[in-house]
Amino acid sequence: MSPQEIRESLNLGEGPALEFKSSLRAKEAIGKVICGFLNGTGGYIICGVSDREKIIGSNESNALIAEFENFIHASIRPGALVDVQRQELEGKKVIIIEVPEGSDPPYAFEHIHYIRVEERLAVMDASEIREIVLRAQIEPERWERRFSTADMGEDLELAEIEKAVRDVESAKRAFLRDSANPAVVLQDFDVSKYGRLTHAGDVLFTKRPSARHPQVRIRAMRYNSDKAGSKFDDMKSFEGPLRTLFEDAYNFIVRNTPTRSVFREGKVQRMDTPCFPESAVREALVNALVHRDYTSPAGGVAIHIYPNRLEIWNSGALPEGVTDESLRQGQISVLRNPDIAHVLYLRGYMEKAGRGSVLILQECERCGLPEPQWESDPNVGVTLTLFSAPNETPPKTLPKTLPKTLPKTSKKTVDKVLNALEADPSLTLTEVSLKVGKSLSAIKRAVAQLTREGNLRYVGPSKGGHWEILKQ
């Protein structure tokens, strides 16, 4: 919700999809409203607005916002993806809570079902609840909610569950009842029921989901020219839990993405940067994995890297109600796989529901690149194309291994990397990049510098090893 949209909302006043609150501290009252929006068509709650619809500001700390998110996660069932963000308007901070239309009604807040009726909140009666339940039984069950044939005793990747617990604790977006018990953790993630994994749980937390669902694999290719049908120089097929798929695919793109040389204002040194913004690439990959159609064994995600463009394809057209225009504006997210999206959000891989496309557009504009394009075809799927700078001859791709000599990285970045690896020695460089908020190339430079200086070393195999802090 942009500042302009907030002003317009204040002028219109509260309505079926808009509620004002003076503070985030009224968490029980806000929780009921969120529940009502989930059982309806979604909506917004703006905290920091008085009863007279004047902006008074809401100065809640980050810790209080995290506590509120944990409270909502624990109090609303089934789990739902709700976005809480801070905005500044007229010199005052307000909190925007964005609630999508729920995918699994009826929802309950502290075991009570609420519904939004015009501008007021009401408790649903038995007939209303029964109607929603019956309607859900008639409608086909989502693929991710169906039970998997995976064996929870043999097929689970326990290390991935442990990693997810660390991610959630770091992101502070949920409270887990028993983080040491994998079965309870999977229940808290809403990917396990009655001792069985759902398809979402299979995709996210088993060793080899492709054994049961071959469509989860990612195919990646780099071509030697921009012409269709040209030969490829590198081709890989990735499989494993969803996070592993994401990281392997992301690393493939970074490794095979051409670099370009630019001069920053006020700087005399030339800087080599990837042709495609790394944050936009991350967001594009997450979107493809979350919004793709998993139902067809012939579906999947494919990556095609050309010298002048990057194409990321996923099976399944854009969800109903999502258009090219709404993608560019960042609407309340319409999720095809809300359970998978919810887990990625709790782990910190998704930031704001429905904002991924906006971030991609902003990053391309910031880097002076042509506007990306989305193409959607019900019979083919969705293809996102990122373009390199026009009239630019791309140089060679990045090396597969780190060079022996790299320019010095800022001490602040190096310290952040060292702190992240000290807190969790099992992190991959991609995960460090996400946690620190720096590009993968910057993380590689920092790690290379720490290694050269004798402060850091990697022990064990490339997959399954860990980092050791040698001295500080």
pLDDT tens string for the chain (472 positions)?
666 777 777 777 888 888 999 888 889 999 999 999 999 888 899 999 887 778 888 888 888 888 898 899 889 988 887 888 888 877 888 999 988 888 788 999 999 999 988 788 999 999 888 888 777 665 567 889 889 999 988 999 999 999 999 999 888 887 888 999 999 999 999 999 888 899 999 999 999 999 999 999 999 999 887 765 556 778 899 999 999 999 999 999 988 887 766 555 555 555 667 788 888 999 999 999 998 989 877 789 999 998 889 999 999 887 766 766 667 666 555 678 889 999 998 998 886 555 778 889 989 888 888 999 988 888 788 999 999 877 554 444 444 444 444 455 678 888 888 888 888 888 888 788 878 877 777 788 888 788 777 788 877 655 667 788 876 5
Q: Which fold has domain 3-138?
A: 3.30.950
CA distance 347 to 344: 5
pLDDT for 406: 44
| Contact status, residue 360 vs residue 254, Cβ threshold 8 Å | no
CA distance 303 to 306: 10
Query: pTM of the entire structure?
Result: 0.65
pLDDT for 139: 58
Closest listed residue to residue 397, CA positions, set 272, 279, 269, 258: 258
| Contact status, residue 259 vs residue 274, Cβ threshold 8 Å | yes
Residues paired with residue 85 on neighbouring β-strands, in sequence order: 96
Domain boundaries, the chain: 3-138, 143-208, 215-387, 411-469
Residue 232 structure tokens: 């490829």
CA distance 450 to 281: 26
Q: Which fold has domain 215-387?
A: Heat Shock Protein 90 (3.30.565)
Concatenated DSSP letters of 333-390: P--SSHHHHHHHHHTTS--STT-HHHHHHHHHHHTTPPPPEEEEETTTEEEEEEEPPT
Residues paired with residue 115 on neighbouring β-strands, in sequence order: 122
Kindly report the CATH number that applies to the domain delimited by 411-469. Answer: 1.10.10.10
What sign has the CA pseudo-torsion 74, 75, 79, 84?
Answer: negative
Size (the chain), residues: 472
CA distance 296 to 336: 14
Q: What share of the chain is helix, strand, coil (3-state, %, to 5)?
A: 35, 20, 40
Evaluate the omega torsion of the peptide bond into residue 209 and state whether it is cis, within 30 degrees of 0: no
Q: In sequence order, which residues have a C-beta less than 8 Å from that of residue 420 and are 6 or more positions away? A: 427, 432, 435, 436
Residue 65 structure tokens: 């916002």
Q: In what order do the strands lie in the sheet with 373-377?
A: 232-238, 218-223, 301-306, 309-314, 381-387, 373-377
